[in-house]
Structure 1
């Protein structure tokens, strides 16, 4: 009888230890597939009335080119400004540049959008500039390699 109690006590202790011990964490493999979205903006263009930045957002093989424009003068009054956005990628036919006029508020704004698909490992370049007669140029460029 004493052996049965000892065995039962040991079995109970083992169950209790198993219930209170931290669970083993199973290793899970890293997800596969295209990388998630990321955005890269280049160095600002030469300051003029506005500072410009060219940006590229990549989501898998989908690519979005756009620009950012920020006034350099704290007393900036919101006004319409003309811009030019263009891009290149090896293996893709050159697309037409996007010319657009946008109301630029004191806090700056995102400008334009060119959507395309790029091949894995290719380099995509965005060019963004002020296209407003009589204004000093403020051209910005950025290049991103589309990850595999």
Structure 2
């Protein structure tokens, strides 16, 4: 991506963040009874990021997702590979930690996910998830989600 396209993608992403309420999320249900809820997208390290919670009964799994903030410039150079430092964490609000996961991944253009946080939670509990991405010279600006586990 050239600098103008990257700047345009960042501005578009920032405008999207301002237009979406902080706790907004989309929920989907799969055939297995799993409900997936994602928090609002954010820009980190020049990329689009979000954190999601998959709930199946009283079992929850969190994941963070990284993708391009916009399409590559047509006819432009291929996106450069970035080394990303990721941090995913989850907790039951007012209760136990569901753990945290720190990782490194190489990102070029395909969407990647960070997983490894989750567990069993009491019905009616609220799960809070956070996902941060850093890549030199950008510091993380974590995205979050809060989900009530209905069971």
Shorter-chain TM-score bucket reads 0.5 to 0.7
Q: CA RMSD in A?
A: 2.2
* Preserved CA contact (<8 Å) 2:98 2:118: no
Aligned residues: 114
Query: In the alignment, which residue of structure 1 is the partner of 2:48?
Result: 51
Task: Trace 1:14-53 onto structure 2 (pairs within 5 A).
Answer: 36-53=33-50
Indicate the structure with greater strand content: 2
Deviation at 1:133, TM superposition (A): 4.2
Please give the per-residue CA displacement for 1:69-106, whole angstroms capped at 9, x wherever unaligned: 01226242233311010111036422542111122230
Deviation at 1:36, TM superposition (A): 1.4
What's the TM-score once normalised by structure 1's chain length?
0.67
Query: In the alignment, which residue of structure 1 is the partner of 2:137?
Result: 134
Query: Which 4+ stretches in 1 moved above 4 angstroms?
Result: none
* Preserved CA contact (<8 Å) 1:66 1:110: yes
Find 2:68's aligned residue among 47, 67, 71. 71
Structure 1 residue matching 2:42: 3-state secondary structure? coil
Larger radius of gyration: 1
CA distance in 2, matches of 1:36, 1:58: 8
* Preserved CA contact (<8 Å) 1:47 1:72: no
What residue ranges of structure 1 are gaps of 5+ in the alignment? Answer: 1-34
What's the TM-score once normalised by structure 2's chain length?
0.66
Structure 1 residue matching 2:97: 3-state secondary structure? coil
Query: In the alignment, which residue of structure 1 is the partner of 2:147?
Result: 144
